[in-house]
Structure 1
């Protein structure tokens, strides 16, 4: 069992802040799915965590269905047959979600259409207009 979830060289999350429960998986699988609690249900409270303020702010800004309005990340892992593999999968998905906010987003540089592209656009519109004019009934 891990004692810390390593996010980067400077950022770690103690296991006490991550709540993982074993629950029954959904879907087909017969007796194994019906009897054995192999799925992992992970919950992590962003606001109550020991994450640096930058990570907290960026995570709370994210528009992700896994993050509730209260700032709780909920991840359900049920791909694998064993509880341990699903637990590792849930922790890995939490790690990648937290790491994703540390990557700085590139600022978009607004661009203008070139003179040639404007000319091409107008020519294609004129050509299309001439084609449609030919389809009209002659009076």
Structure 2
């Protein structure tokens, strides 16, 4: 049985394998001679604009959350080179993409309703200010 490379984000959202593209590149950093010979870093490219598993609102939030990692073509590019093995970097990149999509799936909170302080609260605040003002006015020099 062939293993599916689809990325499960949540119980209801699965990103199809066709919208994901992995490219292996050489990583910088520790690794000795291995770093010069083996392409262990992963570039995971997700074609968000073409993905039919996500709604338009989710795509817009995802591209806004991705920031610098989003391209003009509507793709999200994630680079993973934290680990020395290619497989662990692949898992790391896929998990980071899934976390980003999960964050985009949560709808924004409703806008804040403007409220005004009650008349009693305004009066109490002004009374307290006047009291502080009088205390500070009494701190002047004492005349002989």
TM-score when normalising by structure 1: 0.72
Cα distance in 2 between the residues matched to 1:22 and 1:67: 19
Cα RMSD for the two superposed structures: 3.2
TM-score when normalising by structure 2: 0.70
**8 Å contact 1:40–1:76 — kept in the other structure?**
yes
SS at match of 2:67: coil
Match for residue 106 of structure 2 among 91, 103, 107: 103
Segments of 5+ residues of structure 2 without an aligned counterpart are 138-144
Give the corresponding residue for 1:42: 44
User: Which deviates more, 48-57 or 78-87?
Assistant: 48-57
**8 Å contact 2:48–2:75 — kept in the other structure?**
yes
C-alpha deviations, 1:28-61, integer Å up to 9, x for none? Answer: x152563222111111111122323343243245
**8 Å contact 2:24–2:41 — kept in the other structure?**
yes
Cα distance in 1 between the residues matched to 2:41 and 2:83: 8
Segments of 5+ residues of structure 1 without an aligned counterpart are 134-139
Give the corresponding residue for 1:79: 82
**8 Å contact 1:17–1:49 — kept in the other structure?**
yes
Whichever of the two has the greater Rg, that structure is 2
